[in-house]
Amino acid sequence: MRGCWTTRRPVADQEEAAKNPVIAAVLGGMNPQHAIVTGLGAAPTDSVGYPWNGRYIIASGNLLADFRANLNAESQGRLQVARLYEQTSDRGVRDMLSWLLARDTMHQNQWMAAIAELEEKEGKVVPSTFPRKLEKREVSYTLFNFSRGDDSALGRWASGPSPDGCGRFNYVANPVPLAPAPHLPPAPPYIYDTPPGVVSGKGPFVPPCY
pTM of the predicted structure, to 2 decimals:
0.73
Q: What is the domain partition of the chain in residue ranges? A: 1-54, 58-129, 132-172
Long-range contacts at 116-125 (CB < 8 A, ≥ 24 apart) = 118/63, 118/64, 118/67, 119/64, 122/64, 123/164, 123/165, 123/166, 124/163, 124/164, 125/164, 125/166
Cβ atoms of 17 and 27 within 8 Å: the answer is: yes
Tell me how far apart the alpha carbons of residues 73 and 66 are, in angstroms, rounded to a whole number: 10
Tell me how far apart the alpha carbons of residues 31 and 34 are, in angstroms, rounded to a whole number: 6
Tell me how far apart the alpha carbons of residues 14 and 8 are, in angstroms, rounded to a whole number: 10
Tell me how far apart the alpha carbons of residues 30 and 22 are, in angstroms, rounded to a whole number: 9
pLDDT reported for residue 129: 96
Q: Please state, as a whole number, how many other Cβ atoms lie within 10 Å of the Cβ of residue 89.
A: 9
pLDDT reported for residue 9: 66
Q: CB-based burial of residue 104 (10 Å sphere; 0-12 exposed, 13-18 middle, 19+ buried)?
A: buried
pLDDT reported for residue 91: 95
Q: What would the pLDDT profile of 68-95 be if each residue is shown by its tens digit?
A: 999 999 999 999 999 999 998 999 999 9
Residues 6+ apart with CB under 8 A from 39: none
Mean pLDDT, 10 residues at a time, the chain of 210 residues: 54 80 75 76 82 87 97 97 94 96 98 98 97 96 95 95 97 94 91 91 87
Cβ atoms of 16 and 25 within 8 Å: the answer is: no
* Sign for the pseudo-dihedral over CA of 128, 132, 134, 138: positive
Region for 110 from its dihedrals, namely left if φ exceeds 0, alpha if ψ lies in -120 to 50, beta otherwise: alpha
pLDDT reported for residue 2: 46
